[in-house]
Amino acid sequence: MGVVNKLSYEIFSLLESKFLFGAANGCLSSGPWTPGRAFRDGGRVRVLAIDGCGGGAEDALLAAAALARLEARLREQDADPDARVADFFDVAAGSGAGGVLAAMLFLRGPDGRPRYSAQEALSLVAGSVGRKDWGGRRRRWAKLFRGTRKGDGMFQRLFGDATLRDTVAPLLVPCYDLATAAPFVFSRADAVESDTFDFRLRDVCAATCAAGGAVASVRSVDGLTAIAAASGGAAAMGNPAAAAITHVLHNKQEFPLATGVEDILVLSIGAGASATVSCGSNAPMPTRSLSPRHLARVTAEGVADMVDESVAMAFGLACGSNYVRIQAGKAPAPLHAGTADAAAGAMLAQRTVESVLFRGRRLSERTNAEKVDALAAELVKEQERRRRSPLPNVAIKQLATPRLSSATTASSGTMTARTASTMPSPASWDSRR
The whole-angstrom separation of Cα 62 and Cα 5 is: 36
Measuring CA to CA, which residue among 140, 102, 41, 124 is closest to residue 388?
Answer: 41
Beta strand 323-326 pairing with 264-269: parallel
First-residue to last-residue Cα distance in the chain: 67
> Which fold, 45-129+142-274+291-388?
Cytosolic phospholipase A2 catalytic domain (3.40.1090)
Residues 6+ apart with CB under 8 A from 172: 91, 92, 93, 94, 185, 186, 187, 188, 240, 243, 244, 247
Q: E-strand spans in 209-302?
A: 216-219, 226-230, 264-269
Express each pLDDT in 18-45 by its tens digit: 445 444 433 344 444 444 454 445 689 9
Annotation marks residue 425 as catalytic: no
* Active-site option among 95, 220, 268, 274: 95
Express each pLDDT in 187-222 by its tens digit: 999 999 999 999 999 999 988 887 655 678 899 999
State mean pLDDT over 141-170.
Answer: 72
The whole-angstrom separation of Cα 171 and Cα 92 is: 5
pLDDT value for 411: 32
Express each pLDDT in 377-427 by its tens digit: 999 999 998 888 777 778 888 875 545 443 333 333 333 334 333 344 444
pLDDT value for 130: 59
User: Of the given ranges (109-123, 153-167, 276-290, 313-327), which has the lowest mean pLDDT?
Assistant: 276-290
Measuring CA to CA, which residue among 292, 305, 145, 181 is closest to residue 238?
Answer: 305
Residue 266: phi and psi, rounded to 5, are -120, 130
Q: Could you tell me the sign of the dihedral formed by the alpha carbons of 405, 406, 409, 414, in that order?
A: negative
The whole-angstrom separation of Cα 107 and Cα 347 is: 27
Measuring CA to CA, which residue among 84, 60, 59, 90 is closest to residue 71?
Answer: 84
Burial class (CB in 10 A: 0-12, 13-18, 19+), 321: exposed
The whole-angstrom separation of Cα 50 and Cα 65 is: 12
Measuring CA to CA, which residue among 413, 93, 148, 115 is closest to residue 264?
Answer: 93
Measuring CA to CA, which residue among 269, 297, 267 is closest to residue 56?
Answer: 297
Whether the predicted pLDDT of 54 surpasses 70: no
Spans of all domains in the chain: 45-129+142-274+291-388
| Amino acid at site 320 | G
Model-wide pTM > 0.85: no
Q: What angle do CA 294, 298, 303 make, to 5 degrees?
A: 145
- State the DSSP string of 150-182: TTTSHHHHHHTT-BGGGBSS-EEEEEEETTTTE
pLDDT value for 240: 92
Burial class (CB in 10 A: 0-12, 13-18, 19+), 142: buried
